[in-house]
Structure 1
Amino acid sequence: MPTDSPALRPESSPPGAALLRLLATMARLRDPVGGCPWDQVQSFATIAPYTIEEAYEVADAIRRGDRAALLDELGDLLFQVVYHARMAEEEGSFSFADVADFIHRKMVLRHPHVFGGATARSAEEQTGAWEAQKATERAARTETGTLAGIPSGLPALTRANKLARRAAQVGFDWPDAGAVLDKLEEEAAELRAELPAADPARLADEVGDLFFVLANLARKLDLDPEECLRAANAKFERRFNGVEHRLAARGLSPADAGLEAMETEWQAVKAAEASGS
């Protein structure tokens, strides 16, 4: 349903009232007697994939500059937080109010230059202070080690980036992007050497090394590896769609045309993009 539907237009009400309505809606959905049969049987594990999906949809709406979609997707993401909090409240762990209070106190603690009268920092100084504060918090939770606390459930490229950034903070890093490229060539050679034996485990290991080094190359170039790959996906999708359209104009499908014809059309699509036509 589009967000301009009358049923979905935002109501003009205080944030507190709107949030209370949402919390009541969630409680009704999970009610063991009159609730929704689907919602009644969900768990943290079954809802987690939807939470991840909604976060990506928020990012996609931002990337497209679509504010109507952003309104919609932020609501979906908030609903995921409410959903998890409701399930936690049902088992007696914590409530939505606890979630809100916890993040409030954490943000105050991590911004002493705003809330504690400390000297204002530049963005770079604040980043360093933020990481230092998080390290203190990890130590208080008895999470030891430079790499502690990086969630294992992150997308693999994002986690590779975070692992490498954390290691770089203690000096374990390549000196520059050129050195990472040298490592990339080394890893590619190791993968090539494994091709004749075709051992799936060894090939997977070497391909993983390539991905990890590529994530580091993006980091050294101040790029987000997830964004780089997402853009490459979009480019491939756009160009392949162009190939299909050009083949269709000739009465051909990709399967009918064959690889050579598809490559010809691919190059034509690339040339058209380069010329702006």
Structure 2
Amino acid sequence: MKDRTDVEFKHYKSLDTIIERLRGENGCPWDRKQTPETMMIYLIEEVYELAEAIESENHDAICEELGDVLFQLLFIAKLFQEKNHFNMEDAARINAEKMINRHPHVFGDVKVKDTKEIRENWQKIKMKEKNHSAQKSILESIPANLPALMRAYRVSERAAGTGFDWDNISGVMDKVEEEWAELKAELGKNGDGKRTEEVSLEFGDVLFTLVNVARFAKIHPETALTDSTRKFEKRFKHMEEAVSAAKRKINETSRSEMDQLWENAKVEVKN
């Protein structure tokens, strides 16, 4: 990288200025050819990297990934600004108006009892807004491309907000048992492997019902599964290290020995 004076470096500290330069006539050919559709993919990737950084609780990584997400957002806004559709200030203004409107208990004189009532009011206000008022279903505004567990949680939460819900977590657990029995029955019919679609649907029913268990337990299934997967990874890597220390490979280890290594990993790697 060429040396730059402090004055020149300060000039490029503005992300907006950097993006203008990248998109300019003498800028970067790669940046110049980007579209909102191509940048959307990079934004999604950066958001996942930010989520991973937050999970790690590494403040330096969180700071860096936040900056990457911000850059992607500003870049996308610049693409629309170039076509005279809107700019980032317009987006910020619209969002500010929305947030004020959806928090009448903070910016108005509405009284609320608890967070449950806040969420109910939020949804009522949201459905009255221009871009939601024409919707025929309260589920329409849930993005179709959300990860499956996140979308299942949002769908069940939205439906429950209408009163279509179990009375308590015991009712949901009974439903889990019912769905589990149906999955076992379908698996029993699948001896020839021709009923995979039916098995898949029953398996999905089990997962969806478990999502509702998570909702009643006030945890998020996406976070819970992420934590459990990370715990499994740590324990499996611990097994691999133990095998490697004996100068062997994991796939050459007997099942009984792997079971014992796994039990050791459970003791030594708690979470």
TM-score tier, shorter chain, comes to: 0.7 to 0.9
In the alignment, which residue of structure 1 is the partner of 2:47? Answer: 55
Q: Decide whether the 8 Å contact of 2:22 with 2:31 is kept in 1.
A: yes
1:184 and 1:138 map into 2 onto residues whose CA distance is: 39
Q: CA deviation at 1:172?
A: 1.1
In the alignment, which residue of structure 2 is the partner of 1:227? Answer: 223
Bigger drift between 49-58 and 159-168 goes to 49-58
- Change in 2 beyond 3 A, CA 1:123/1:50: farther
Q: Summarize the alignment of residues 1-277 of structure 1 with structure 2, pairs less than 5 Å apart.
A: 21-31=14-24, 33-116=25-108, 118-119=109-110, 121=112, 123-124=114-115, 125-137=117-129, 141-195=133-187, 196=190, 197-198=192-193, 199-273=195-269
1:143 and 1:178 map into 2 onto residues whose CA distance is: 33
TM-score, normalized by length of structure 2? 0.85
2:113 and 2:57 map into 1 onto residues whose CA distance is: 28
- Change in 2 beyond 3 A, CA 1:43/1:109: same
- Change in 2 beyond 3 A, CA 1:111/1:262: same
Q: CA RMSD in A?
A: 2.5
Q: Cα deviation per residue 1:33-55 (whole Å; 9 max; x = unaligned)? A: 32222222222222223222222
Q: How many residues align?
A: 258
Q: Decide whether the 8 Å contact of 1:138 with 1:144 is kept in 2.
A: no
- Change in 2 beyond 3 A, CA 1:204/1:47: farther
1:52 and 1:174 map into 2 onto residues whose CA distance is: 34
Q: Decide whether the 8 Å contact of 1:138 with 1:149 is kept in 2.
A: no
> 5+ unaligned residues in a row in structure 1: which ranges?
1-6, 8-12
2:196 and 2:75 map into 1 onto residues whose CA distance is: 40
Q: CA deviation at 1:123?
A: 4.8
1:254 and 1:238 map into 2 onto residues whose CA distance is: 15
1:25 and 1:141 map into 2 onto residues whose CA distance is: 39
3-state SS in 2 of match to 1:83: helix
